[in-house]
Amino acid sequence: MGKRTGNINSSWEGAGAPPAHPPLWWRRLKDLVVPPRSQRFLPTVTGYLLIAVSVALCIAAYNTGSNILFISLSLILAALLLSGALSWINFREVCWRLHADPPFRAGERCTVLVEVVNGKRFLPSYSFWFKIRAAGSREQGHLFLERRLDPGAADVLKWFFTPANRGLEKVTLSGAVSEFPFGFLRKSLGRRLTLELLVWPNRILYEPRESARSREISVTGSSAWRVGQGEDLVNLRDYHQGDSQRLIHWKASARMRRLQVRQFAAENQSGYFLIVQTSRKMWREEERFERLCRFVFSLAEDLFQENRILGAAIDDRPAIYLQRYVDLASFFDQLATLRMSDRDRHVELPLKDNLVTFEPYGGSGIHACSGGESIASA
């Protein structure tokens, strides 16, 4: 599986986030006097009006010597100080992070989560929000904490967006912002968090043209010695989610102190093997190349669901044998960031009879060919 196809999380951020290195005592004292760059206090419109009223009261109190004006000025200044103190307490021991659960597909609605945790023992937290943005899709929004976050509790904020194109998508979360409690001051806390997500191509409608001869070739296949479910032991590897427990080698697992799975060799597996070439001389236009990626994605997914695909290879990259969904996801990760190549790359063909190659035809059409015949076109 590609590194961005499983559950992925950003690091924790916020006042309650575990520090990478414990701060020194003098740095803690400095942060109380001079807030770090990730913290900002700015007056709101109401706050600026209150400051203007305070200045006017101060001038009037000194000119008139009125005790009532001095008391009023003291109350306003106390309200400003209390607002800052409560805002600091509201964010204390609160942390958050970005969470995503791929796969993501272009043109389909996706979900990104913001996990918020209140680590305080006695006091709840209120009324803050985040600004979130997907750079590639040019979508942005605000996520609001709409309910009280009790001590020791956690909440999840959901943001929905639709990736515009396949490729690498960067989702950025700004620091938390709050005007709690009186709306005089707007406090921003925390650095930006970024998640890099792989967006798979979206599906395309294509026309199946598989003949009886092509189907026979895909069923009978050709001899290909590879890792599979045969009788001869090939290797031991680490256990991955989805592997059968019957394949676990318990003695090796006890020796290695982690689960080990037996890999066997298999012969005469049925199914197609997809060969994808990215030469610019072949595809020429970016629009047709994007159509190719969508076509390969759709065909591979359908063949995998029908259990009629052996594997796939792109240019001179190592072949991927599609035995499990995790292998298919790894191949789709490669399709997500695929670009046209300026040079021809020689492909080492692992099979002979059941290969599927992709060729352009007409204005913008693409054929999937096997054994000299077209089995599908888009």
Q: Render pLDDT for 213-241 as a digit per residue (tens, 0 to 9).
A: 555 555 544 444 444 444 445 456 677 66
Contact assessment for residue 221 and residue 354, using Cβ atoms and an 8 Å cutoff? yes
pLDDT per residue over 239-294, tens digit each?
766 666 777 888 878 877 788 777 654 444 568 889 998 888 888 888 899 999 99
Query: Which pLDDT score is estimated for 362?
Result: 78
Q: Find all residues with CB under 8 Å of 154, minimum gap 6, and list them.
A: 115, 116, 117, 118
Pairwise pLDDT comparison (297 vs 321), residue with the higher score: 297
Pairwise pLDDT comparison (98 vs 253), residue with the higher score: 98
Query: Which pLDDT score is estimated for 346?
Result: 59
Closest C-alpha to 319, from 360, 287, 351, 358:
351
Residue reference for tokens 């406090």: 187
Give percent of the chain above pLDDT 70.
Answer: 80
Reported confidence tier of residue 116, pLDDT bands at 50, 70, 90: very high
Query: Which pLDDT score is estimated for 3?
Result: 45
The token pair at 2 is 């590609």
Q: Say if residue 7's pLDDT is above 80.
A: no
Buried-exposed string 285-313: b where 16+ CB fall within 10 A, e elsewhere: eeebbbbbbbbbbbbbeebbeeebbbbbb
How far is the C-alpha of 306 from the C-alpha of 300, rounded, in Å? 10
Choice among 110-114, 211-215, 300-304 with the minimum mean pLDDT: 211-215
* Secondary-structure percent of the chain, ordered helix, strand, coil, rounded to 5: 30, 35, 40
Max mean pLDDT range (164-168, 255-259, 347-351): 164-168
Q: What is the mean pLDDT of the chain?
A: 81
Pairwise pLDDT comparison (260 vs 376), residue with the higher score: 376
pLDDT per residue over 132-158, tens digit each?
999 888 899 999 988 899 999 999 999
pLDDT per residue over 47-95, tens digit each?
889 889 888 998 998 888 888 988 988 998 888 888 888 888 888 899 9
Half-sphere exposure of 190 (CA within 13 A, CB side): 31
The token pair at 360 is 């352009």
Contact assessment for residue 366 and residue 358, using Cβ atoms and an 8 Å cutoff? yes
pTM: 0.73
Query: Longest C-alpha distance within the chain, in Å?
Result: 104
| H/E segment holding residue 53 | helix 45-64
| H/E segment holding residue 80 | helix 67-91
Contact assessment for residue 258 and residue 238, using Cβ atoms and an 8 Å cutoff? yes
Query: Which pLDDT score is estimated for 200?
Result: 93
